[in-house]
């Protein structure tokens, strides 16, 4: 089995770009995906899920140059679980998509 994720959705904001020590770039990307279904009353319902995506290096540079809020994009990557300690000393757990490939479907 392989850890693989593909998301097609819209960017909720412009990527947040950070340059790390040594010059390597990190992009934080928020993408919304929509699922539409018909409920028991026959009404169409759309559910939106928000996904946290991170991209490193050349992939981050591509996101920085091409991605703008509202664009429809494809993100190909893998799920990554990590933990950190917040300012209050509480341990937090995060699941995010680590992007390997990015594709713009449509401009805003």
Please, what are the averages of pLDDT over each run of 10 residues along the chain (108 residues)?
93 96 95 94 95 96 94 96 94 95 81
pLDDT of residue 107: 63
Domain ranges of the chain: 5-36+44-106
CATH architecture of the domain formed by 5-36+44-106: Beta Barrel (2.40)
pLDDT at 105 (0 to 100)? 85
Residue 69: what pLDDT?
95
Q: What is the pTM of this model?
A: 0.84
> What stretch of H or E contains 45?
strand 44-56
Please enumerate, as own/partner, the contacts of 31-39 that have beta carbons within 8 Å and a separation of 24 or more: 31/7, 31/73, 31/75, 33/7, 33/8, 33/9, 34/9
Q: What local confidence, expressed as pLDDT, does residue 1 receive?
A: 74
């Amino acid at each position: 089995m392989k850890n693989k994720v593909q998301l097609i959705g819209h960017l909720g904001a412009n990527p947040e770009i950070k340059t790390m020590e040594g010059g390597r770039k990190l992009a934080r990307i928020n993408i919304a995906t929509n699922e539409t279904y018909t409920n028991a009353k026959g009404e169409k319902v759309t559910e939106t899920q928000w996904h946290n995506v991170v991209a490193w290096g050349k992939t981050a540079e591509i996101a920085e140059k091409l991605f703008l809020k509202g664009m429809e994009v494809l993100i190909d990557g893998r799920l990554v679980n990590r933990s950190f300690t917040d300012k209050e000393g509480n341990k937090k757990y995060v699941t995010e998509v680590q992007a390997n490939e990015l594709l713009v479907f449509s401009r805003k």
